Structure 1
Amino acid sequence: MQYNQQAQRQAWIDGLAQLREQGAISADDETVLIRHMDERLDVVQQELKALVPEYERRAASDGREAADAWLGAQAREMGEREGADARRMVNSLSTIEVGP
């Protein structure tokens, strides 16, 4: 799993380097994007680990189906939060022009 994460991170960095070389983003934006991704990955991993005890408690007391539904709702909330955070960060980049 760790290797897969490292490979994905490197692919992300390589993609950003290509965007910078094409002039789509600046070097500063590239640095901001890499830092943002690293920070968000750490936060998401911590949040996911924190969900495990509650999921197990719910599975034991309410059943796996109810626990899975709760976990799905938590995942949706996390995804929406991360998406909003990513939009704010991308909109703050120097080379991004926000439409009307």
Structure 2
Amino acid sequence: MHDQQAQRQAWIDGLAQLRQQGAIDADDENTLIRHMDERLEAVQLELKALVPEYEERSERDGREAADAWLGERSREMGEREGADARRMVDSLTSVQTPAT
């Protein structure tokens, strides 16, 4: 948990630097922080929900099949999270009205 907090703080520090450099404004910074917090929580909950089914599949179908199933779910999650992040970034003020 400490590592996750350190990573979150590094993310926030990086966003603060971008704001100081004028790459994003304060609203965008807050949007990015909120988005990251929401997504981390959602991903953690989704991963926890996969554990019982993974264990059941592992016992029923074998570990190799369960690993393949988990790999597919992970890929789907990654694609979904990537698309969601892209939509969020595209909505940022600094992306919609780039500095000239």
Which bracket does the TM-score occupy, shorter chain normalised? Answer: over 0.9
Q: How does 1:3-22 map to 2 (within 5 A)?
A: 3-22=2-21
* Greater relative CO (CA pairs within 8 A, separation 6+): 2
Match of 2:28 in 1: 29
- Root-mean-square deviation (Å): 1.0
CA distance in structure 1 between the aligned counterparts of 2:37 and 2:74, rounded to whole angstroms: 19
TM-superposition CA deviations, 1:37-86 (whole Å, max 9, x none) = 00000000000000000000000000000000000000000000000000
What is the deviation of 1:97?
4.4
What is the identity, as a one-letter code, of the residue corresponding to 1:65?
A: E
Match of 1:86 in 2: 85
By percentage of residues, which structure has more helix?
2
Aligned partner of residue 96 in structure 1, secondary structure: helix
- Identity across the alignment (%): 76
Q: How does 1:11-90 map to 2 (within 5 A)?
A: 11-90=10-89
Equivalent residues, number: 97
CA distance in structure 2 between the aligned counterparts of 1:66 and 1:10, rounded to whole angstroms: 38
Which runs of 5 or more residues in structure 1 are unaligned?
none
What is the identity, as a one-letter code, of the residue corresponding to 2:26?
A: A
CA distance in structure 1 between the aligned counterparts of 2:69 and 2:60, rounded to whole angstroms: 13
